[in-house]
Structure 1
Amino acid sequence: MDTTSPETAARNDTVAVTGGSGFVGGHLVSALAGQGRRVVVVDLDEPSPELAALPGVSYRRADLRDYGETLLALRGVDTVFHLAGNASGTRSVQYPRFDFQINGLGTCHVGNACVEMGVRRLVYMSSAIVYGTPQRFPIDEEHPTRPFLPYGASKFSGELTLRSLHEAVDLSVVMGRCFVIYGPGEDPRTAGGEVSQFMRWQLNDLPIPVVGDIDRKTRDFVHVSDVCAALIAMAENGTPGEAYNIGSGTETSMRQLADAVATATGRPARLKADTSQMEDSFRLVADISKLRGIGYRPAVTLAQGLESLAGALGPFPELPTATVAFRREAVEQT
């Protein structure tokens, strides 16, 4: 005989996505709604009409810097995917206090609210930026953590807070360290990832500016749909208190990316080297063995993702305007 109360049954089917109106959040909301889950979008911005129209999707406005608003937004949910926050390293250099309030304090509020509300599982989207300059390749989860940007420090602060809540009060939290995410829906005014930027320059038939060393600078590019699959796998099978790398496990140089963009668009790519900033000209690739161990398998190759992205953007998309800066002086000169 099933003795589950109607209230408990409802909770077991309801998830919240903080930052659900954003790039990754919107894709995650769509994926969860496609599984038949009731999804609460928690954000300062309303979700798009297309997202809001999905069956089972509702919206709660909340500023996570306010603990009272955080508590109200997360009431009655079973699982929380915490994606909200500042995702721009450059903005963290410009406004480090704002960055820490959003990423550090906001995450602390979410973690405490989950404890107070008895949330079954919290999934925190962190970043590979917490590792700082890579010291070995590929990077596993035991790699030293020495972030060189305020953004990396604030994301790592979130990890430390949530892990301490796991140890002290048994918060069931798992953390995903995302590498370089790409896919349809990125905002060209803020997205600093090379895939979207390269594709937008290429589709406008313009030279592609490449910051740093074209051959020595490598990245692990992971499609947003694979990121969503990883986050869901972590919610279902992840070990509480653990961090997992979220990537493709494939290393791609800037030149190789440009060649792949050329193939996806059917015309040669012209590169314009910008060596004024070389701080991130290092190899950044994920060891995803740990994530594979809980059932994750990246499904979208870079070639497939680029072909799809080119179709989604169409001819002459808006050009990217996000800047790259590692020091305040660099920001002020732009």
Structure 2
Amino acid sequence: MGRTFLESSSLENADVAVTGGSGFVGRNLVAALADIGKSVVVVDLAPPSPELAALPGVRHMRADVRDYGETLLALRNVDTVFHLAGNASGTLSVEYPRFDFQVNGLGTCNVGNACVELGVRRLVYLSSAIVYGTPQTCPITEEHPIRPFLPYGASKLSGELTLRSLHEAIGLPVVIGRSFVIYGPGEDPRTAGGEVSQFLRWQLNELPIPVVGDIDRKTRDFIHVADLCAALITLADAGTAGEIYNLGSGTEVSMRELADAVAAATGRPAQLQADTSQLEDSFRLVADISKIRDIGFRPSVALDKALKELTDRLGAFPELPSTTAVFRRERVEQL
């Protein structure tokens, strides 16, 4: 049996690259990789935070994944690539679909092609459960039909199809993870659209919590960013090339149940304010994680404990969330 990802260190230079390493998930993944002794290149337009840059073995390569030359240069001399760079906002994809596709579609093609040309050992691509579209079954397995209803879902699916075709045609050693709803410390309230961060910030400001959709019918699978990073490392270590894995907690939580958990974490009743004018996402989005469990992943962060920790970290009256859910534009501007 060959050495695992955690044991391998065949390069004198950095041996792991994280595209989008300065973003929310990227920062956490870089820290997790540094913690297990990996040298990491943060491939991002923005530099890593001072705390991240100070970690042993972490360095920055400025690159725009839409530019193939920059991407190729940034990924030289690495053994493993975690591709996280891209647009993560469904709302932004509705407003600017061309930008969304350039970053998520073209950018992922560039990363995949660069990995082929450079001969990387493993590429792990972070996709999204949004590719499933409106769920037909619950929980959702990786064989669920694919029918995204947002440009963001289409662009993430485009990345999947491109990388899997490179695997079939050229042998690209790619593993794909479809994340469910990610939450945890360090989310930017100006861009974070997940309900956990939004609910908690509204609650800590002693304001009603706006809920888009049906409070009881809308359920989600929330995965803590620490668990997500552990899942991504599991894919690098034990995932099968060409395969897709759901990345979630496997636990279903309704919007009402989330509000109750937020109330318990903050010690104050939560007041919900339902907006039922948009019901497009009032469905059960829950992962069947049997496949990734079979290769060793076990989620370990409980929602109630994580909410208490986030409450303590955010303190009283944190910045309010400013991202809203948009499923269609009222007026399409002429381009």
Identify the residue that residue 179 of structure 1 maps to in structure 2. Answer: 180
Superposition TM-score, scaled by structure 2 size: 0.95
- Match runs of 1:315-334 below 5 Å: 315-329=316-330
Contact 1:11 1:77 in 2 (8 A): no
Identify the residue that residue 207 of structure 2 maps to in structure 1. Answer: 206
Amino acid paired to 1:308: E
Aligned-CA RMSD value: 1.3
Taking the aligned partners of 1:137 and 1:10, their CA distance within structure 2 comes to 44
In the alignment, is residue 15 of structure 1 matched against residue 16 of structure 2? yes
Listed one character per residue, the Cα deviations across residues 125-164 of structure 1 (whole Å, up to 9, x for unaligned) are 0000000000001000000000000000000000000000
In the alignment, is residue 298 of structure 1 matched against residue 299 of structure 2? yes
Identify the residue that residue 280 of structure 1 maps to in structure 2. Answer: 281
Taking the aligned partners of 1:116 and 1:241, their CA distance within structure 2 comes to 18
Taking the aligned partners of 2:332 and 2:38, their CA distance within structure 1 comes to 42
Percent identity of paired positions between Structure 1 and Structure 2: 78
- Match runs of 1:144-223 below 5 Å: 144-223=145-224
Q: CA deviation at 1:12?
A: 8.7
Listed one character per residue, the Cα deviations across residues 236-277 of structure 1 (whole Å, up to 9, x for unaligned) are 000000000000000000000000000011111011111111
Contact 1:81 1:123 in 2 (8 A): yes
Amino acid paired to 2:204: L
Contact 1:108 1:161 in 2 (8 A): yes
In the alignment, is residue 102 of structure 1 matched against residue 135 of structure 2? no
Identify the residue that residue 68 of structure 1 maps to in structure 2. Answer: 69
Taking the aligned partners of 2:204 and 2:320, their CA distance within structure 1 comes to 9
Listed one character per residue, the Cα deviations across residues 157-178 of structure 1 (whole Å, up to 9, x for unaligned) are 0000000000011000000000
Taking the aligned partners of 1:192 and 1:139, their CA distance within structure 2 comes to 21
Taking the aligned partners of 1:12 and 1:222, their CA distance within structure 2 comes to 33
CA gap 1:136/1:46 in 2 versus in 1, 3 angstroms:
same
Contact 1:182 1:222 in 2 (8 A): yes
Q: Where do 5+ consecutive residues of structure 1 fail to align?
A: 1-7
Listed one character per residue, the Cα deviations across residues 45-80 of structure 1 (whole Å, up to 9, x for unaligned) are 011000000010000000110000000000000000
Q: Secondary structure at the match of 1:91?
A: helix
- Match runs of 1:192-271 below 5 Å: 192-271=193-272
- Match runs of 1:47-86 below 5 Å: 47-86=48-87
Amino acid paired to 1:242: E
Bigger mean CA offset, 118-127 vs 300-309 = 300-309
Taking the aligned partners of 1:263 and 1:208, their CA distance within structure 2 comes to 15
Contact 2:14 2:77 in 1 (8 A): no
Taking the aligned partners of 2:142 and 2:203, their CA distance within structure 1 comes to 35
CA gap 1:234/1:12 in 2 versus in 1, 3 angstroms:
farther
Taking the aligned partners of 1:86 and 1:103, their CA distance within structure 2 comes to 6
Taking the aligned partners of 2:49 and 2:155, their CA distance within structure 1 comes to 28
Taking the aligned partners of 2:151 and 2:175, their CA distance within structure 1 comes to 22
Amino acid paired to 1:219: R
Identify the residue that residue 311 of structure 1 maps to in structure 2. Answer: 312
Query: Runs of 4 or more off by more than 2 Å in structure 1?
Result: none
Amino acid paired to 2:134: T
Superposition TM-score, scaled by structure 1 size: 0.96
Q: CA deviation at 1:214?
A: 0.2
Contact 1:89 1:151 in 2 (8 A): yes
Identify the residue that residue 135 of structure 2 maps to in structure 1. Answer: 134
Q: CA deviation at 1:188?
A: 0.4
Q: CA deviation at 1:191?
A: 0.6
CA gap 1:298/1:63 in 2 versus in 1, 3 angstroms:
same
Taking the aligned partners of 2:35 and 2:332, their CA distance within structure 1 comes to 41
In the alignment, is residue 24 of structure 1 matched against residue 45 of structure 2? no
Bigger mean CA offset, 270-279 vs 18-27 = 270-279
Identify the residue that residue 5 of structure 1 maps to in structure 2. Answer: none
